[in-house]
């Protein structure tokens, strides 16, 4: 029987299509309300929503050329001071809109008169009511405890905010929006081409020592993949940036290990050089999730066919989600309702 988690992963192309229809016009305008002036962005979130923040922040810096930080809600509320400018925008991300730590962080910032925005899947939530600007991620009800389609919707909405700011800087965003319009069909192709993903899951499920590597935007995707495997399989999976992994952390490969590497055009040469060193010195099993067709460094190479970063982010994410779900089934775990986890964190 197909799990709820897998069904919700398979709904992701439709969720993206719905968001495109809701927020992007035929004239390439993005119908999202933003402050007229923003000189600094801080994104605050927990769990998978934090990984959304970590994926989005470098995109704001790269494409909008605006400072953007991201913080765990639980850490944010312990800080005595926060960096605020006259035109700061604080973005709070929560699937439920009721995450306790994130609401506490929101209230701290609101007391200081700062402009606030939320990205949430719940229009009637406390967060929705409190924020000045709001975006409904509108993924529909997510029943599986491990977030998949709701996270994809959050990331997509974050990219729409980023592109709206780019357009406000006078840049033509029609090319970016055309890439986004092709995203649903791209995700459909990845989920249909499931044979290698299932093969990779079968190989990975045999290991207790799993490391997922990625650079820049793909490091938080590696963290999200690790979180999904932790949540659904109860395995201690760790994520690292490629370069940092080589500074001491690589010693974990002295145990029986598998490495999952996310490789794109920007880090391909660097990644393959490090993978060769890892293979030569430790000889772990290696799985590559890559948008670079020439990459053959892994025992299994999963090719997510695109040269566009804004598509590859989603392609690598969906691949890791499917791997985690398949691994849970293989390990006889229930991916929909992991022990000790609850959907809404209120306390």
Residue 212 phi, psi dihedral angles, 5° rounding = -115, 125
pLDDT digits (tens, 9 = 90+) for 276-334: 999 999 999 999 999 998 888 999 999 999 999 999 999 999 999 999 999 999 999 99
Spatial separation of the C-alpha atoms in residues 122 and 343, rounded to whole Å: 13
SS3 state of residue 160: helix
Q: What is the pLDDT of residue 294?
A: 87
Spatial separation of the C-alpha atoms in residues 16 and 252, rounded to whole Å: 38
Q: Which portions of the chain are predicted below pLDDT 70? A: 1, 340-347
**With respect to CATH, is domain 189-330 assigned 3.40.50.10490?**
yes
pLDDT digits (tens, 9 = 90+) for 71-91: 999 999 999 899 899 999 999
Spatial separation of the C-alpha atoms in residues 243 and 220, rounded to whole Å: 14
The DSSP code for 96 is S
**Domain 4-181: CATH class, spelled out:** alpha beta
Q: What is the pLDDT of residue 1?
A: 59
Q: What is the pLDDT of residue 343?
A: 57
pTM of the model: 0.95
Q: What is the pLDDT of residue 340?
A: 66
Q: In the chain, which residues fall in CATH 3.40.50.10490?
A: 4-181, 189-330
Mean pLDDT score of the chain: 94
């Amino acid at each position: 029987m197909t799990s709820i988690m897998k069904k919700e992963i398979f709904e992701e192309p439709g969720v993206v299509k719905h968001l495109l229809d809701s927020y992007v016009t035929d004239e390439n305008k993005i119908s999202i309300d933003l402050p007229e002036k923003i000189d600094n962005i801080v994104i605050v979130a927990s769990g998978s929503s934090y990984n959304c923040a970590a994926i989005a922040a470098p995109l704001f810096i790269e494409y909008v050329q605006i400072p953007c930080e991201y913080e765990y809600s639980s850490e944010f509320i312990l800080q005595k001071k926060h960096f605020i400018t006259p035109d700061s925008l604080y973005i709070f991300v929560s699937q439920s809109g009721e995450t306790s730590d994130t609401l506490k962080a929101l209230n701290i910032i609101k007391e200081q008169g700062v402009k606030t925005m939320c990205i949430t899947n719940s229009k009637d939530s406390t967060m929705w009511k409190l924020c000045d600007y709001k975006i409904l991620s509108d993924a529909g009800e997510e029943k599986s405890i491990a977030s998949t389609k709701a996270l994809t919707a959050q990331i997509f909405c974050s990219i729409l905010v980023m592109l709206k700011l780019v357009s406000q800087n006078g840049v033509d965003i029609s090319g970016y929006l055309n890439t986004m319009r092709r995203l649903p069909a791209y995700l459909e192709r990845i989920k249909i081409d499931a044979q290698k993903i299932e093969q990779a899951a079968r190989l990975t499920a045999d290991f207790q020592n799993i490391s997922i590597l990625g650079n820049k935007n793909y490091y938080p995707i590696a963290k999200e993949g690790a979180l999904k495997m932790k949540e659904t399989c109860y395995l201690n999976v760790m994520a690292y940036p490629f370069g940092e992994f080589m500074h001491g952390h690589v010693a974990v490969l002295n145990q029986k290990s598998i490495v999952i590497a996310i490789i794109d055009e920007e880090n391909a040469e660097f990644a393959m050089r490090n993978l060769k060193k890892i293979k030569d010195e430790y000889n772990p099993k290696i799985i590559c999730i890559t948008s670079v067709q020439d990459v053959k460094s892994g025992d299994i190479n999963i090719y997510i066919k695109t040269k566009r970063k804004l598509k590859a982010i989603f392609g690598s994410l969906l691949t890791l989600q499917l791997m985690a779900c398949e691994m849970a089934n293989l390990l006889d775990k229930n991916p929909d309702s992991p022990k000790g986890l609850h959907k809404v964190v209120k306390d």
